[in-house]
A and B are shown apart, each in its own frame.
Chain A
Amino acid sequence: MSITEQEQQQSAPSLLADALPVSVETALRERRNGTGDQPLVVSVKTDIGADGKIGERWVVADTHAVRVLSQNGDGRARIDADLPLADVIDFRTENLVGGGALLAQRGTDVVELARFTTPLVGRMGSVARTLSALAKGEELPEVHDEEVRKCPKCGRPLGKNSNVCRACIDKKATLARLFAYAREFKVQAVVLTLLMFGAIAMDLVPGIIIKRMTDDALVPQVAVAPNIALGRLGVLVGLLILARVVAMGLTIVRGRLSAYLSAIITYRLRTQVFDRLQELSLSYYDKRQTGAIMTRVTQDVNELNNFLVDGLQLLVVHGLTILGILIVLMLNDWKLTLLVLLPIPLVVWATRTTWRFLRRRMERLWHLRSALAAGLNATLSGTRVVKAFAQEEREINRFQRRATELYQVNLSVENQWATIFPMLGLLMTSGSFIVWYLGGRQVILQEISLGTVQMFLFFLGQLYGPLQAMTRIADWLSRATTSAERVFEVLDTEPDVADAPDAVKMPRIEGSLKFENVSFAYDKSRRVLENVDLEVKPGEMIGLVGHSGAGKTTIINLLSRFYDPVEGRILIDGVDMRKVSLNDLRRQLGIVLQEPFLFPGTITENIAYGKPGATPEEVMRAAKAANAHDFIMRFPDGYDTQVGERGARLSGGERQRISIARAILHDPRILILDEATASVDTETEKQIQEAISRLITGRTTFAIAHRLSTLRNADRLVVIDKGRVAEIGTHDELMNKEDGIFRKLVDMQTEINKMRILEE
């Protein structure tokens, strides 16, 4: 949902007001007699009935009571629950599997008001918050509309991560869009088309010459002297050769031209897809395997390339050839032509049927191929784990299973092709039998000349090739459109996180941050952050503490705007983060990750990743500040040392310091430290700590800290527990809290450290 849409949304009541059926309305009116008829604050429909089955129930509330109603079969409604708000301490939703429940806390007990399925989870959460506010007499919370992912054209649901409605994409449009890429190369495209026509005309000439050759020179209709016949033969053979040579020349030029056109279009598409993939938010990647995404950039685009180079030419050239041949034949003997064409409808029908049958299998093959690639990717990247657990055997088996399945499906598809193809071929050649018999009969009866039959046979031979190829056109075309759809789908997917149309430029961020009632869920059913409120002053260092899975990383993800909050907002220097230009935000945001990722390249390139034009002095100054200069200078290739996949192996501490140097050079206003848990020796630890304390000076810093030493540097610590802010305070404040979560964590760590010392 874009920001503007959210802006337009109104506050709670109107969004939580479903129309009530008459029966419910009536029952409610009867019941409310005592409390007058003030407007309902909440009236929502839930989708699980009182019997726990799919059904309808209504949750309605005014400022006095919340009630749950359901319809009886007889057109009347009954009241399942009626709870005075004064009795209720709090309302909340409980996450269940496949849905949730709306609960009211009454004393120490809870009362379940209604249940609902997954799509209502977000909305019912708003209902619970609104009801709580009502019960406590607080101001009603803001309610945001749930995003409805439906095609605006046909109302069908849209794909999870794509806004493309396949029902509304027709193949023609897809192809038209593909061809639109050729628009830039108008001249070449026109020349190409002319060349195609020329080549086809040249293909038709030999047939006519053959007819002439037979009727005028070889078996002249009117007797002529042999030397005259010989003369004619010479001229005709000469013409035949000439036609062939010209045809060849045209084909060469045409082939080269179309190769150029398709290559450049493919290139455009490929770079466009990659550009879009880079723009897309992390959520797009969360739900897809890298292998599958890679396939789109490589295989799908290749498929389009093949189609444009070969498929398209086949389509046009063969189509026109067939047309030309038919016209020439018709002009010579339309009756014989029609007879020859008799098997064609059968051929077309057979081809189409086969195609429909084979298409799904082809799709399956595609899927199996990318599954194999994705599996391979997973295993190879996990090689260390595989080796460490001695599970090579199992991985071999697993791979073999996948490969076997692919082999089997591949084999069966190929077998089907291999069987069906010759059968289709036989069907198609059946026309020549007709020519031999019926045409031959006409020659014997002297109704047509021998040359005409010769020409028919020649053209029929010419016809089979294109016809056979045309049956493959269906394959080409469908494969190409599916690939094109997939590619266009990526191109058409709008990033979840994108610049607002009225994005605010922020050339220099001061660094004050404010979380306002921020909630977040990676998927609808499970909230990972709930109502986080937090205010951070410029330059302040906040240590995020909490168990793993508590939501620390999610806070960091939101800060980096990898995702947008589901509810609430984050203000940066008082401006909603969604309104800040992404480029400005990310430019002034630095992240030092737990496991620093180094790109293949030199150390210099890696340090200067966030500031490509940095001078060598700047790079070295940053490295020096990060305590990385010394060890880099010890490398034989110094700052030119190759790192990354094929480069030098750096230790964890070294990688970390390089990534700190990267952050220092980037000079961010807001800094995020995801501190490594990896144990390093005391000296390295000291060096890293020094580097970090240099890095954080003067910047607003969020640190996910595991080391106590880092926590001591923090101005304030925020303890996150189950997605909520549990404790905030300085290190000492939190330590003095009896029974505090932080204190427990520290005690535990001290205990562990003691044990470590004992072991050493």
Chain B
Amino acid sequence: MPTDTENTVNPVGTSGPAHEQDLLLLDAKKMRLFRTGGSAVRMTIEGLDALGADRSYVRVQIARAFPLSQPDRYTGFRDAQDKDIGLLIAPDGLDPESRRILDEEMERRYFLPVILRVNQIKDEFGAIFFNVDTDKGPRTFYLRQLRESVYRLPGTDRVLITDTDGNRYDIPDVTRLDARTLTLIGHAL
């Protein structure tokens, strides 16, 4: 097992020895996100080096580990080469600027309009036409092959629907939909 590659680091804010395969848990207090004029995110982690020096990464990619079930926890960071840097369990404790950038990046990465209101819905021979208001603005779309495009998160009333173009929409609580909408998509649940 190789032990001294460039990725071998001491854990930050956690105990126990770490090597390449270990999940590195990041300490919100010791990391900082910032931008350098463009859209790329840079990240520095204090005392990450074997010698206790800071480490810096350019063009960091940020993704949620459980975007559906636990969007606010477990945020993963990868470097420009797609290599895992580490995992932030909870963003509390990040400095305000880093937190702002994190939120921006998450908003940017996850485009999942939440359906606020169904204005019009009609069954057109197996294709269901929707006219909805979402938190990202109004939208019209078609659903088809209902059973394949409606997905209820196991054990919840949250439903994700995928329209014929491949766009996904979030319905946080399907039971709060109006009766007509519920009837039309209900039997696919």
Contact = CB atoms under 8 A, between A and B. Distances in A.
Interface of A: 48-49, 52-55, 96-99, 101, 103, 106, 108-112, 115, 117-119, 149, 156-160, 165-169, 287, 360-361, 363-364, 367, 523-525, 722, 751
Nearest to A101: B108
Interface string B98-133: 000000000111111100000000001111000000
Contacts of A53: 136-137
B108 A96 contact: yes
Contacts of B107: 52
Majority SS at the chain A contact face: mixed
A109 B127 contact: no
B136 A52 contact: yes
15 contacts: A49-B137, A54-B138, A96-B110, A97-B111, A109-B39, A115-B111, A119-B166, A156-B124, A157-B142, A159-B144, A166-B126, A167-B124, A168-B125, A287-B148, A751-B1
Contacts of B39: 101, 103, 109-112
A119 B167 contact: yes
Interface string B132-171: 0010111100101101100000000000000011111000
A55 B139 CA distance: 10
A118 B187 contact: no
B38 A106 contact: yes
Majority SS at the chain B contact face: loop
Contacts of B134: 54
B166 A524 contact: yes
Contact of B144 (A101, A160, A168): A160
B144 A97 contact: no
A119 B59 CA distance: 26
B187 A156 contact: no
Contact of A363 (B109, B183, B187): B187
Contact of B168 (A48, A96, A98): A98
Contact of A55 (B1, B38, B111, B137): B137
Contact of A96 (B109, B164, B166): B109
A167 B122 CA distance: 13
A98 B110 contact: yes
Nearest to A100: B111
Interface residues of B, number: 40
B93 to A, nearest CB: 25
B108 A157 contact: no
B107 to A, nearest CB: 6
Contacts of A287: 148
A722 B83 CA distance: 12
A360 B127 contact: no
A106 B124 CA distance: 48
A49 B138 CA distance: 13
Given A53-B137, A111-B39, A157 B144 contact: yes
Contacts of A361: 187
Given A119-B166, A167-B126, A524-B166, A110 B144 contact: no
Interface in B6-42: 36-40
B38 A166 contact: no
Contact of A97 (B38, B40, B112): B112
A19 B36 CA distance: 35
Interface in B43-84: 58-59, 67, 82
A618 to B, nearest CB: 46
Contacts of B58: 108
Given A103-B39, A363-B187, A98 B124 contact: no
A98 B167 contact: yes
Given A52-B108, A53-B136, A367 B38 contact: no
Contact of B166 (A52, A108, A525): A525
Given A109-B40, A157-B144, A166-B125, A97 B167 contact: no
Contact of A118 (B38, B138, B165): B165
Contacts of A101: 39, 108
A108 B37 CA distance: 11
B57 to A, nearest CB: 12
A523 B136 contact: no
A54 B127 contact: no
A338 to B, nearest CB: 38
A367 B168 CA distance: 23
B143 to A, nearest CB: 9
Given A97-B109, A112-B39, A722 B139 contact: no
